[in-house]
Structure 1
Amino acid sequence: MSDDAAAREPVRLEVEDGVAVLRLDRPKVNALNADLQRRIGLAAAECGERDDIAAVVLSGGERVFAAGADIHEMAGLGYPEMVARSSALQDAFTAVSRIPKPVVAAVNGYALGGGCELALCADVRIAAVDATLGQPEILLGIIPGAGGTQRLTRLVGPSRAKDLIFTGRFVGAAEALAIGLVDQMVAAEDVLPTALAWARQFVGGPALALRAAKECVDRGGDVDLETGLQLERMQFAALFATEDQAIGMRSFLEHGPGQARFAGR
């Protein structure tokens, strides 16, 4: 593919020095139509499969993360069509949430509806000071359909999630930070550099341990404590079969903490 053709792709995966930027580029506001959703799912799967990717940054660019679903595409659909379409939508976003590596969303501008739901699929969210987030689907006579009622509730709690979903109101970055919807607020020009810096710390890290930690946290939150502890115990023990465990413990004994150079195996 030529550079010009690649530049026109609505979803691009740009990998440099172990960090992937999964970039949305569908002018003007990255409206999430069916094609964009499908491409996001495929890019997420590729991030999980590639050994040269240690961490992932989700970005919509400098002006907007994603302003929501493509309403022009959805407005004429009925129940039979949306049954199939909603399944594909959730599958695409679930693929992002299941990338077995650290994922950070770099949120500039608007992250509304499906855009907010996509950001919720990341492990960490870094927002511009002038970013705006929300789940305004109720204003269209519908509800969030790409994980908003579930991931938002797990992140900020049921009362705050209901407030945002019932009213459809937008929240600025400061309020989003206060309620735990985002994890860090920085100047607009610093969003992507800050996200990249967060992602880079995992390059050369213990890839299998990071994968196990993410699975324990994510899957453990959906089960009872006893089952979650069993999952943790099994993952903990399994890591003693890895080369990284031997490297990490040997390095600790010989050089102290934080000096290990892991093999990713």
Structure 2
Amino acid sequence: MSYETLLCEVENQIATITLNRPKVLHALNSQVFDELERVFLRLKEDASVRVILLTGSGEKAFAAGADINELAATNAITGTEKARRGQGVFRLIETCGKPVIALVNGFALGGGCELALACTMRLASETARLGQPEVKLGLIPGYGGSQRLPRLVGRSAALKMLLTGEMISATEALRIGLVDEVIPADRLAARGQELARAIAGMAPLAIAGCVEAVERGCNLGLEAAIETEAEIFGRLCGTADKAEGTTAFLEKRSAVWTGR
């Protein structure tokens, strides 16, 4: 497939999606959402892809936010529709069954920060700046940010970001748990590839199982959550990869994963 607002490359079981609207710092307009949906639906069904990297072209921005021209034209009805559209695409990213690693290489503001929040984990360059400045526009986050942010960093830290609309540094984002690592800008892509290769080398069904267990369990009480874990564990016990993994361990050799 060809895209106008992003690039997608697949190599060695790792897909790299690059937002590519540099003149507007990769602002998220309707076309970006349509193309993100298309590419993630495609990668979700591609068994040869085990990990997905998501970033923005250049060093200035991961994604600077929603397209303000489109936001300015919304009313109560179209605004609700716009929020639900963005939420649906970000939920697809969050639940595509494969780890998605955000490489935050500059500004990640508003919808851009929400996009990073929908990913499995976030690596940030030392020059990254993150924030939810929607209150400065008379709005709240509309693509899941008001819900994912407090689940990730806690209620107080989330409300500080939401109510002030201030940008925070990569160092502060690491301190509160918004990002997982801070890396020199010239090493960000390489570190992303390194982490992706490490994950891609594991049993793919087990990786998907880990993502599913955390995703489902985080929204349940402990009793229901550990029952979900048992269900997924049992499912994996019946797979060829589990048989291969245990046999390889006992035979002191590297496992060969088939995803079955």
TM-score by length of 2: 0.96
Residue type of the alignment partner of 1:122: C
Aligned-residue offset at 1:27: 2.4
Question: Does the alignment pair 1:147 with 2:144?
Answer: yes
- Confirm whether residue 55 of structure 1 aligns to residue 51 of structure 2: yes
Matches of 1:164 and 1:153, distance apart in 2: 10
Shift of 1:204: 4.2
- Quick one: distance in 1 between partners of 2:90 and 2:239? 30
Contact 1:22 1:58 in 2 (8 A): yes
Matching residue within 106, 109, 113 for 1:112: 109
Alignment equivalent of 1:189, drawn from 170, 186, 201: 186
* Number of residue equivalences: 258
Write out aligned runs for 1:207-246 (5 A): 207-246=204-243
Q: Which runs of 5+ in 2 are unaligned?
A: none
**Match of residue 42 from structure 1:** 38
Equivalent residues of 1:204, 1:263 under 8 A apart? no
Q: Does 1:254 align with 2:251?
A: yes
Within-5 A mapping of 1:1-20: 6=2, 9-20=4-15
Whether the 8 Å CA contact 1:109–1:132 is kept in 2: the answer is yes
Aligned mate of 1:71, from 68, 73, 76:
68
**1:113·1:135 contact (CA, 8 Å) conserved in 2?**
yes
Pairwise CA distance, 1:244: 0.4
Question: For 2:66, what is the secondary structure of its paired residue?
Answer: coil
Unaligned runs of 5+ in 1: none
> In the TM superposition, what whole-angstrom CA distance separates every residue of 1:119-150 from its partner, at most 9, and x where no partner exists?
11111111110110010101111000111011
Residue 103 of structure 1 contacts residue 199 of structure 1 at CA under 8 Å; is this kept in 2?
no
Paired residue type of 1:56: I
Which of 12, 22, 26 matches 1:30?
26
Task: Please point out which of 162, 165, 182 is paired with 1:165.
Answer: 162
* Cross-structure match for 2:16: 21
Moved over 2 A (4+): 202-205
| 1:37 shift after superposition | 1.1
Aligned counterparts of 2:90 and 2:77: Cα–Cα separation in 1: 21
How high is the TM-score relative to the length of structure 1?
Answer: 0.94
Q: Distance in 1 between matches of 2:202 and 2:126?
A: 30
Counterpart CA distance in 1 for 2:185 and 2:64 is: 17
